[in-house]
Amino acid sequence: MSQHDDKRRRLLGRLSRQFAYTAPVLALVAGGAALQATAGNTSTEAGFAPVSEAALLLASSNAVAEGEAEGEAEAGSSAEVRRPDGYTPDYSETDENPQELLARGEELYYDTSLSTNGLSCASCHGSDGDDVGYKATFEQPFPHQVAMASSQFGMPEVHADEMVQVCMVAPMAAEPLEWGGEKLTSLAAYMVEVQKRFAGEPHDL
Ligand code: HEC
């Protein structure tokens, strides 16, 4: 037990030194674990702890591997999270999006199978409209600056679909979603509405 705790503490220490943004992430992951534990469901209780451990390990090994390979502050390649040349998305950041798209986006937001570490978007960003884990910059309409995208991927500002890809690749430790596919399109459309809700504006959620 104490050996396990030690390992975890070292991991947490290394992670928070490497990325300023991991501090809130780790707090959120830990908060998630606590929530799961109080839910009193023995199967999730048993299942969640190893999962968040795995998330930490993955994040840590990525950070180390990429930091060593590139020898610079940027941890990821922006090529896989940036809109491809000539790309036109199937959702709008300025007009309304169809309700089916938003409903599908919401469903995916809770889907742990999108990640390789047992997390869903809602594990970090909250459920039922909590909208946690976002910084004040999220109050501006897309595209806008996001600290994690600029520090890790060198992107001065991001569209909603690019930010979904950043979170897929970094905190979700997964492959980016297919550009123009229904998953990315619905999640991005959903995030546009979450952005409005976060900013206290009228929204369709
Ligand atoms: C392990 C925690 C974690 C998970 C899981 C996660 N995110 Fe994030 N997300 C963050 C952090 C940290 C930020 C960065 C906030 C910043 O730098 O401003 C962020 C930022 C964002 C933003 C940008 C907000 C803005 O300011 O524009 C969006 C959009 C977003 N996440 C969507 C998602 C989606 C969609 C998923 C699931 C596919 C997801 N996130 C999964 C931690 C997470």
CATH of the domain at 177: 1.10.760.10
Q: Quick one: 83 and 176 in the same domain?
A: yes
Q: Quick one: 21 and 112 in the same domain?
A: no
Global pTM reads: 0.74
54, 70, 86 - which closes a domain: 70
Q: Is residue 153 part of a domain?
A: yes
Q: Quick one: 46 and 98 in the same domain?
A: no
Q: Which of 48, 57, 111, 167 to mutate to test the pocket of ligand 1 (most atoms within 8 A of CB)?
A: 167
Three-state secondary structure call for residue 144: strand
pLDDT per position as a tens digit, 17-33: 444 444 455 555 555 55
Q: Is residue 203 part of a domain?
A: no
Q: Is residue 89 part of a domain?
A: yes
Which of the residue ranges 76-80, 123-127, 191-195 would you say has the lowest mean pLDDT? 76-80
What residues are in contact with ligand 1 under a 6 Å CB criterion? 21, 24-25, 28-29, 114, 119, 121, 123-125, 133-135, 137-138, 146-148, 160, 163-164, 167-168, 171-172, 187, 191
| 2 CA → ligand 1 middle, Å | 32
Provide the residue range defining the domain that includes 40.
Answer: 2-70
Q: What number of other Cβ atoms are within 10 A of residue 104's Cβ?
A: 18
Do 194 and 131 meet the contact criterion of CB atoms below 8 Å apart?
yes
How big is the CA angle at 26 (ends 176 and 74), to the nearest 5 degrees?
50
Atom of ligand 1 nearest to the CA of 22: 12
Number of domains in the chain: 2
Q: What's the whole-number mean pLDDT along residues 85-112?
A: 97
